[in-house]
Structure 1
Amino acid sequence: MTRPAIYLDHNAASPLLPAARAAMVEALELVGNPSSVHGHGRALRGLIDTARGQVARLAGAERGQVVFTGSATEALTQAIVAGTKTFNSDGVLLTAGEHAAVLSAASATGLPITRIGLDRDGRIDLAQLRAALVAAEGNLLVAVHWVNNETGVVQPMPEINALVGPTPHTLVVDAVQAFGRIPLDFAASAPDMMAVSAHKIGGPAGVGALLVKSHADTVRLIPGGGQELGRRGGTESAALIAGFGAAAAANNYDADAMRALVERVETGLRRVAPEVVIFGAGAERVGNVVDFAVPGVASATAMMALDLAGISVSSGSACSSGKVGPSHVLAAMGVPPGLAGCALRVSFGWNSTAEEADAFLAAYETILLRQRARRGEAA
């Protein structure tokens, strides 16, 4: 099967870094169980300990605060489902634009859920958050994404930390899209728990981590046999974890280069389609993603045409069983359903180039010209 030539969906998963691949191959050459006390087991344990330090450094965490999981979804589920039980939470407070993993975990708690609205650019309504915290009866678990996976909008974490940090409420942060792109300082910041993932930074899929403060060490979803200091049961995959650590150590995210690619695409889109809407354009964005819509050009149609042209993009989150449908994030931002149905997400990463950005623009312009020709519009 011939693979598409151009990959512009790094927010879904970034290609494996060479350093991560090498670390995984090295780990796969070893045999044993990392929990065994003999030499073979200790060798695998050493790889995991090295990776724990590498992930901790990129997250601004202490080594012992890193709990390896099977994915960021698992990490968020542990933080929210197990966290509400551990801390006897009376409800869950989250933003209306959270990732599906957070929304599903919140529903699974069976507790009352309060949703905080977003403004038209995707920023959390801080006044509404403040009011909800003041009005809360009992303890809440507050779940907030740092960077939205669809729009790239960066939430005002210093303000959120200042509002939630001094309270008795539990703060869980989805930092999956922030990890490796924004400096994190988990150890010195307010969140009680924070989720990160490997495959967004050029590591392998199938491994994530939950960062936990010491008072959250008893938050457990999978008890198992005592692995991860009892915080997540199940034999660790040394190969996946080694790849995660190597990707974290090799991370050299170039914010300026990413921003230049985004500006290149946005400028080109405005040239070929002045009516284009860039979602989150008025807010701070992480800088590697363009979430946009051209009215009248359905996302399903555009994605199919781009795929035939060998260009992979997305219409939003990749975590919806392959479905192409309206985005709840855009709905929370007040975007009309018709316009939301035209949304496309182009996201860049460590191996993206200006030539790829230009190829996308050329292919998308061709799609626009075809659409206009069918409607009898002037080019």
Structure 2
Amino acid sequence: MTKPAIYLDHNAASLLLPEARAALVAALDMVGNPSSVHGHGRALRNLIDSARGQVASLAGAERKQVVFTGSATEAITQAIVGGAKAFASSAILVSAGEHAAVLKAAEATGLPVVTIGLNGDGFIDLDQLGAEIARADAAGETLLVALHWVNNETGVVQPMGRINALVGPTRHTLFIDAVQAFGKLPLDFAGSAPDMMAVSGHKIGSPAGIGALLVKAHADVVRLIPGGGQEQGRRGGTEAAGLIAAFGAAAAAYDEKYQHAGLLALIDKLETGLRAIAPDVVIFGDERIGNVSNFAVPGVKNATAMMGLDLLGLSVSSGSACSSGKVGASHVLAAMGVAPELAECALRVSLGWNSTAADVEAFIAGFESILGRHRSRQGQAA
């Protein structure tokens, strides 16, 4: 089986950066346990501490605020399940567009979960958010508010300044899923309102299996996995030094490798090409991160289109890649009020650090051929 020639699904997982590969390989040649006090253990501890500083730098965090986890999903679960317990939350607030990791973690708390709606452009309903906070204040309840910064399916960037202003001054806990924002937007965790924030390694070019939870000092009490005191007692289990080193190397290299303006120009090129071959194309979301386009051509089912593109060596998705490889209905598009028959035509193209104009041109050519076959079948049916 040949590898796909062109990879256009970076929101699911970005390609491994050479710097991350080199750091991982070098760490695999080291032996010991980072908690050991002998020379081999100290060498691994120094490697982890260096990576902690690199991740902190990209996140605008202090080194001590970075807690390494086995994935962003684990970080999210620690923040929500552990946070709800630590802060005696009465209820969890999420938006209708959250990643499944957030929704499932909120459900796992056993607490009431209040869902904040999205408007047609994919933005969180801030009026409803404010009303829920006011209601909780009046009732003497303590909320854990768990919201995403950038939507993984549509790329819509939430108005984080306004969210921070609404929740930050209150006594409620604010957790932000920053997985799709990390490395793509300027983060200032140390100087901003969120109490906790989750980031991921494989979205910025490190291997999968490593993430981090950023925590303010008062949130150091949040726990999920007890153990032998690793990560300053905040996450048990022997650290995966190689993965952590690769995560750090990716974070250090990503500012240079991820060219936001260039990818925005490529997305513009892609959407211009789509409109030229399919004037009825619908592009979802307005104020989006620069590397994503989620669109639908009415009548062209995403499962069929993805299969055809895959045969042409073009890897795209229909949205989140975290549903056991299934192509299902998008809860995000449903929350935005998109009709089901249009939502089942939605495709997501997401670009990354190695994407080129030639990749975009190949996608347009490939999708045009699929449209041609679709129109031919329509003509024969008529």
The interval holding the TM-score normalised by the smaller chain is over 0.9
| 2:228 alignment partner in structure 1 | 225
Residues paired across the two proteins, number: 376
What letter corresponds to residue 148 of structure 2 in structure 1? H
What are the equivalent positions in structure 2 for 1:1-379 lying under 5 Å apart? 1-136=1-136, 137=139, 138-251=141-254, 252=256, 253-280=258-285, 282=286, 284-376=287-379
Give the C-alpha shift of residue 255 in structure 1.
1.1
Give the C-alpha shift of residue 218 in structure 1.
1.1
Q: How far, CA to CA, are the matches of 2:116 and 2:221 in structure 1? A: 28
Q: How far, CA to CA, are the matches of 1:266 and 1:36 in structure 2? A: 54
Q: How far, CA to CA, are the matches of 2:253 and 2:112 in structure 1? A: 42
Give the C-alpha shift of residue 2 in structure 1.
1.2
Q: How far, CA to CA, are the matches of 2:46 and 2:312 in structure 1? A: 45
Give the SS at the match of 1:11: coil
Structure 2 unaligned spans of 5+: none
Q: How far, CA to CA, are the matches of 1:75 and 1:210 in structure 2? A: 5
Q: Name the TM-score, length of structure 2 as normaliser.
A: 0.98
Q: How far, CA to CA, are the matches of 1:86 and 1:30 in structure 2? A: 37
Q: Name the TM-score, length of structure 1 as normaliser.
A: 0.98
What letter corresponds to residue 270 of structure 2 in structure 1? V
CA deviations over 1:231-270 (Å, ceiling 9, x no partner): 0000000000000000000012211101011001100000
Structure 1 unaligned spans of 5+: none
Q: How far, CA to CA, are the matches of 2:53 and 2:183 in structure 1? A: 15
Give the C-alpha shift of residue 334 in structure 1.
0.4
What letter corresponds to residue 194 of structure 1 in structure 2? M
Q: How far, CA to CA, are the matches of 1:294 and 1:315 in structure 2? A: 13
Give the SS at the match of 2:352: coil
Give the SS at the match of 2:88: coil
CA deviations over 1:66-96 (Å, ceiling 9, x no partner): 0000000000000000100000000000100
Q: How far, CA to CA, are the matches of 2:199 and 2:341 in structure 1? A: 33
Give the C-alpha shift of residue 377 in structure 1.
7.9
CA deviations over 1:320-348 (Å, ceiling 9, x no partner): 11010100000000001110000000000
Q: Residues 82 and 363 (structure 1 numbering): CA distance in 2 closer, same or farther, change over 3 Å?
A: same
Give the SS at the match of 1:316: coil
Q: How far, CA to CA, are the matches of 1:319 and 1:224 in structure 2? A: 28
Q: Residues 358 and 377 (structure 1 numbering): CA distance in 2 closer, same or farther, change over 3 Å?
A: farther
Q: How far, CA to CA, are the matches of 1:215 and 1:204 in structure 2? A: 31
